[in-house]
Each structure stands twice: as C-alpha cells, then as structure tokens.
Structure 1
C-alpha cells in the first residue's frame, strides 16, 4: 500500500522554518528545519498538498509563495492550533499541531490578504503609532508644566494656544533649560502633526478610488478612516458567513460562558481587531452626541429607546455593532447602503 503526502505544517520563525509532513495513513513523512531563503527550493520537491501555518507577520508572504507553486495554503489563528500541541512547546511540536489542525473540516481559516490590503493596513498602523506618540508628547509637556506648578486646561488646543504665553509670562518659574526642553517637545508635536496629516491625506485619497471604501462610506458614521481600515482588515467580507460573525470577530458582542442550558453572558469579548473596534466605538460616541442626526437613521426608534435604558458606554458598543454588520452586507453584496429600505435590525 502506497502512501501520499496529506498535509504539511509550518512553524514560521524569523530566519528558519520548521516543517512537519503527514502521510494519508497518519504517519510522519518528514520533520526538518530549513532556512527562509530555501522555502521555494524545498517545496518544489514536495508533492502538492494542503499546507497549514499560523497567522503571523510573514504568513501572507509564505501563503502567496506556496500558492504560486500549486499548493493549497491555509492560514490558521494561533488559538485554534493550541489544542493540538502534544507535550511541551517547541518548534517541531508547533508545526505538527498545525499539520493536524489544518485537516479539521469545520475550522475557520484566516483570509489571505492581498498586497494592497497589507499596504493599507501598514498606513493605518503608522498613523496609529504617530497619534499615540503625539498624545504622549502632549502629556509630557503637561507633566513638565505641572512640575513647575502650572496647570493647563484639558484639550490639546488649550495647551497649544497657551504654551507660549506661559513661557513668556511665567519665565521666572521656568528655568532656561526647561524652557528649551518644552520648545523641543513642541517642535516634535508640530512634526507629528505634519506626519499624521500626510498619512491621513494618503488614506483619504485611497478611499476615493477604492470601490469597497466608496460603498462603505454610504453607511452613516463611516468615513475614509473607518472604511479603509475595514477594507484592509476583511477585504470583501467573504471570510464571514453573516454580519453577526463580523461583529463577533471584532469583539463587540458579550463573552459567553453557558452550560446546562443556562446562558451566561458577560462583558464584550474584545476579540479580533482592537484598532478597528476602537474606531467603530469612537464613531458611535460621536453619533450619540448628535441626537439631531438620529432622524436620518433607520434605527432611530431603537436608538431612542436604548439611550433611555442603557449606560452610554454600553450603548456605544451596541451602536458600533450595527454599522459593523451593515458593513459586511455592503461589502459582501457589493451594493450601497439604502437607509430607507434596509432594515438594520435584521442584518
């Protein structure tokens, strides 16, 4: 009886890859460690089969490379491979666990991202880092002023408008060295503003020409930033069967711990893309502060009732879940959102 190669698991490292192959009878076909540069040369010699790998930074590159060679690459979330690890953790055991997990029939795989999606995702990550650094710089300026006994009103605009007046009028309380430090931090602040504006402008330009972004921006509360972040994260939404699956993936639904026919729901799970979840919740907060705009929404009645019985933070999460579900429907069906005919409650 002859055996054939059934599946291969890859544990991706920075410089080396550990690969484990299984035959169709469950026996080991091989266990080896290869250099990253020899990936193509190694797999060209193998029979075409299913290849599994955990989702990580270079998983998309490896997946695209193997697909060009004729393999069937599948990317798996790390939490789904953990139950298959035997014994203690090492690179070979991880690769073996991936090779077994990839054969499960009902496993949800991570959708392979295109190069355009990766580029757009990188833009958002750069912008997020710059915004975080700007916030840290502003907070450091406030802290240094507070050490001198000077408190400034909350808000970046208040600090920007009063900083030089403070340096001029209260120079007797601020040493020359501290004065130079604050000026240097302010220059960093201006540079970060320029970089954030340039990155945001590039993202907005992409949203004008991307079909998916244009469809998403037909949804109330979704603009260039959220639309491009959604397209970068989920593409056309084909990785999800329904809108509620996207909401669950974003972590906008309660964490469930149910047993014995007794459902137990807790706080939101906070799974999936934290950055995207934050953007949607922030957009919900903005919409909640503008009740005059509610009349233009098809879920106006629901929002008015919910605002009377729910805390604002809980309501913002529930409200963020609605455009997330709608976004999946818009992307999956390639149609603009119709605010008058689409029933959001049913999506």
Structure 2
C-alpha cells in the first residue's frame, strides 16, 4: 500500500479531497471536474479511496491509468466514519479514515465490458417490471368487472384472448378496447424481453468467464453474465465464503454472552444476483429426484432433513462459492463425481 493516502469525495461537478502531508498536517482541496485528472497526473503516486457510487468506476479506471492505487469502498462501511454533520469535506475525511483501516469493505473496479453487461441487465429488469405492471393492471381492471384471472403472466396470456372474444361477459365496448390495447402492449414487452434474453445468451457465450460458469448446475445465461460483471477478478474477497456472505447467502448472526444464535439468511448485498442463484438452485433441486450423482444424492438428503427451500439456498450458497473459485483460479467447472 502506498504511504500517501487520499480520501476523494466525487460528485457531478465539484470534487473534495482530504489527505495528510509528511508533517501530518491536514490538506483539504476542492477540484472542479475538468481539473481532477490534471491534478492527479502531477501528484505523487498515492492510494486513493473513493466511495462506490455513480461514476466511481469511471474515475477509478482513469486514476489507475495515471499510476495511482484506487480503492472503491462500500458506502455503508464509509458512513460509520463520518464525524460531525454531513458535508463534502467530512465525507472525504471519512473516506480517508476508512481506506486507512486494515479491514476494508472494498468493491471491485468494473471494466467497461462489465458495466455494459450490468446496463443490459438493468434495462431488462425495467422491462420485466413494466410487464408486471401491465399484467396487474389487466387483472385488476377485469376483477372490477367480475372476471378473475389467476396470478402469473402465462395465465393472462392464456385467458385474455378468450375473455376479449366473449361477447356475453358484460364488458363494455370501451373497456374491451382499452384492455385489448394493454394486451398489445404486453405482447410488445414480451417481444422486447425475448430479444434481451437472446442478447444475454450471446454475451454469455462471447465472454470467457460467463461461458465457463454455464457448466455449473443452476447457472444460466442471466446468472452467468451478472455474476461475471459483478465479481470482477474475485480478489476483492478473501475467500469463497466471503463472496457468498456478500450476497446474503449465509445465516445472519445475533449472538451475545458467548452464546451463538443464528438466524435465516442475512439478505445482504446484491438482491438480484442472490435471487437468480436461488431460482436456478430451485430448478436443480426440483429435478434431482431419482438421480444417483453425488450432487443429487446430497440434495435429496438435504431436502429430506431440512426441506426444499433450505436445500435450494444451500445449493445457491455452494454455487456462489464455486463461481468465486472458478474466477480466482481461472479454471473450468470440474463437477461432482458420479
């Protein structure tokens, strides 16, 4: 680690810097956006702490190119170091104090390719939310007219054509017309989401790490690409358990008086990745009955002892650890022996 440490509070236009000189005298400096790279290009090589937030990965990449060591810190970790009221220089000082600690909560710096993957996932998530809203609107409008449709997009797709064609169900002409428009909007969203899924499939094959991850049971193109874009080189975590814990896939703990007490999973970290890992694990657990390989026999025993849901979470935890190991060791999935 470099002896010179800087806490840098980034923003849209005005950046605030906090550091100490050789005599331990506090130095505070305010920089305009256009001045940042020029200032650090002429500054001695340092360790720069930045809070992980909007545009932080861009600045981390640019400052790394100038020879500095950049550390992105978890915002929750930094907040506990803020002294006094919140202002920009106090935030920069908190970042300085946090990056100086030995036990830091760092975030891997993402490449532009990884950010492109995340952008695609974010856009797809937004489309799925919009589709859910359209489906709920259709179901709610029909329920007001005494027509009930079961939950789920598939149920709406299946039943809606017959409802619109039924002239005896009491729907007015205007209501029928408006719901038909919503049905058309649902078909358009289905088409766009399907195109995004195809794009994710192509990305998972084009990226070497994602392609290797597809061999893990319960990991498909969506999970493989989002994990590859999030985990980086995996060196931001000291062990596979740390990575699983960062996703909230380990038990929460509330111990006191030397009496350990474990709760359900902590649900910390990236909810989207955790959800996809668990959904993929559910599919594996659902289809493990009757199989004789080591993984299936372990899952069968776990379901028998702990139930379906806990077995799914246990497999999701195992998969998260496997994905971390594959990333850090640059190896392919070896699988469980038959």
Select the residue among 211, 236, 251 that pairs with 1:254.
251
Task: Give the equivalent residue in structure 1 for 2:4.
Answer: 6
Change (3 A) 1:22 1:176: farther
In structure 1, the residue matched to 2:24 is 26
* Structure 2: stretches of 5+ with no match in the other structure: none
Partners of 1:317 and 1:72 lie apart in 2 by 37
Cross-structure match for 2:65: 68
Q: How does 1:127-166 map to 2 (within 5 A)?
A: 127-166=124-163
Residue deviations 1:203-258 (CA, integer Å, cap 9, x gap):
11111121111211111121211111110110232222222111111100011223
Provide the C-alpha distance between the structure 1 equivalents of 2:201 and 2:58, rounded to a whole number of angstroms: 27
The answer to whether the Cα contact below 8 Å between 2:7 and 2:17 also exists between their aligned partners in 1 is: yes
Within-5 A mapping of 1:188-199 = 188-199=185-196
Answer yes or no: is the 8 Å Cα contact 1:9–1:96 preserved in 2. Answer: yes
Shift of 1:115: 0.8
TM-fit CA distance, 1:320: 1.1
Of 14, 17, 24, the match for 1:16: 14
> Which segment drifts farther, 255-264 or 69-78?
255-264
Q: Distance in 1 between matches of 2:337 and 2:329?
A: 15
1:121 is aligned, of 115, 118, 122, to: 118
Q: Give the C-alpha shift of residue 20 in structure 1.
A: 1.6
Structure 2 distance, partners of 1:259, 1:27, is 41
Q: CA deviation at 1:66?
A: 1.1
Alignment of 1:1-347 (within 5 A): 6-29=4-27, 31-170=28-167, 173-292=170-289, 294-296=291-293, 298-341=294-337
Partners of 2:76 and 2:92 lie apart in 1 by 14
Aligned length, in residue pairs? 337
Q: TM-score, normalised by structure 1?
A: 0.90
SS at match of 1:291: coil
Q: Residues 98, 149 of structure 1: CA spacing in aligned structure 2 closer, same or farther, 3 A cutoff? A: same
316-325 vs 163-172, which moves further: 163-172
RMSD of equivalent CA atoms:
2.1
Corresponding residue for 1:345? Answer: none
Shift of 1:341: 4.4
8 Å contact kept, 1:7–1:23: no
Q: Distance in 2 between matches of 1:291 and 1:70?
A: 51
Q: Distance in 2 between matches of 1:150 and 1:93?
A: 58
CA contact (8 A) 2:52 2:73 kept: yes
Secondary structure, aligned partner of 1:267: strand
Query: CA 1:290/1:5 → structure 2, altered by over 3 Å: closer, same or farther?
Result: closer
Question: Per-residue deviation at 1:70?
Answer: 2.1
In structure 1, the gaps of 5 or more residues are 343-347
Residue deviations 1:95-127, cap 9 Å, x none?
111012112223242111111111011111111
Q: CA offsets per residue over residues 150-206 of structure 1, 9 Å max, x none?
A: 012343223213212212214662222222221221121111112111111111111
Q: Aligned with 1:251: secondary structure? A: coil
Distance in 2 (alpha carbons) for counterparts of 1:119 and 1:85: 33
CA separation of 1:24/1:258 partners in 2, compared to 1, >3 Å: closer, same or farther? Answer: farther
Deviations 1:281-318 (CA, angstroms, capped at 9, x unpaired): 1112222221347434x233332222123243333212
Q: What secondary structure does 2:318 align onto?
A: helix
TM-superposed deviation, 1:34: 2.6
Distance 2:307 2:337 in 1: 29
Partners of 2:237 and 2:140 in 1: how far apart? 46
